[in-house]
């Protein structure tokens, strides 16, 4: 019963559509009708600007952290597989939120928050977070594509899990996160292949 309740709490925590709420409160708009139409921090950056995007990003990360740490602790669910399942439900809540007809964000910030939460409770997973972030940064800083960086980092996540000898539940989590990210980024992948994906302009990029 405790596990079921914790999973519901974790899901609804993840399902809070922060980007949508912020769009309504800050500008009175439906973020789904602007920019890429995605209910996530990247689209908030594009549509509303730096500070709103930063706030939404931080809140989405916080959702993942709280689900894995605080929710697990208050329900006494402290085993590794408990934390893994909580990580999965909070990201699922973000990706398929009941509040927006099960159409949510792409789960990158929530997944990052879940991984951060895991590192706070499971020390051996810290190198996984470090290497995954490094891969994301290298790809993003060299290309300017948030989507490409996210997909590449997601693909490497389970590989890094295996190479660092993580437990089976954590490896499974890495595989599922990878599948989530790739599946949610299918439109971005199509645009990347067609050369139509917008990228973040970085100062050292040469203008064409």
pTM of the model: 0.94
Between CA 50 and CA 186 the distance in angstroms is 26
Q: What is the full per-residue pLDDT of the chain (208 aa) written as tens digits?
A: 899 999 999 999 999 999 999 999 999 999 999 988 899 999 999 899 999 999 999 999 999 999 999 999 999 999 999 999 999 999 999 999 999 999 999 999 999 999 999 999 999 999 999 999 999 999 999 999 999 999 999 999 999 999 999 999 999 999 999 999 999 999 999 999 999 998 887 776 665 5
Residue 16, SS3? coil
In this predicted structure, what is the pLDDT of residue 12? 97
CA proximity to 148, closest of 124, 57, 156: 156
Rounded to an integer, what is the distance from CA 203 to the centroid of its chain?
A: 26
């Amino acid at each position: 019963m405790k596990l079921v309740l914790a999973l519901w709490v974790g899901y609804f925590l993840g399902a809070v559509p922060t980007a949508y709420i912020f769009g309504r409160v800050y500008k009175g708009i439906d973020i789904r009708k602007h920019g890429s139409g995605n209910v996530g921090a990247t689209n908030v950056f594009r549509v509303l600007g730096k500070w709103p995007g930063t706030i939404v990003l931080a809140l989405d990360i916080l959702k993942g952290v709280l689900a894995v740490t605080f929710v697990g602790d208050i329900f006494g669910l402290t085993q590794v597989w408990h934390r893994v399942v909580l990580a999965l439900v909070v990201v699922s809540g973000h990706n398929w939120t009941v509040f927006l007809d099960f159409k949510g964000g792409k789960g990158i910030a929530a997944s990052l928050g879940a991984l951060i939460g895991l590192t706070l409770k499971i020390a051996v997973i810290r190198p996984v977070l470090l290497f995954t972030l490094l891969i994301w940064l290298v790809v993003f800083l060299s290309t300017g594509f948030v989507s490409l960086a996210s997909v590449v980092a997601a693909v490497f996540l389970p590989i890094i899990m295996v190479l660092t000898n993580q437990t089976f539940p954590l490896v499974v989590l890495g595989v599922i996160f990878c599948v989530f990210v790739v599946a949610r980024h299918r439109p971005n992948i199509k645009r990347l292949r067609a050369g139509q994906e917008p990228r973040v302009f970085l100062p050292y990029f040469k203008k064409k």
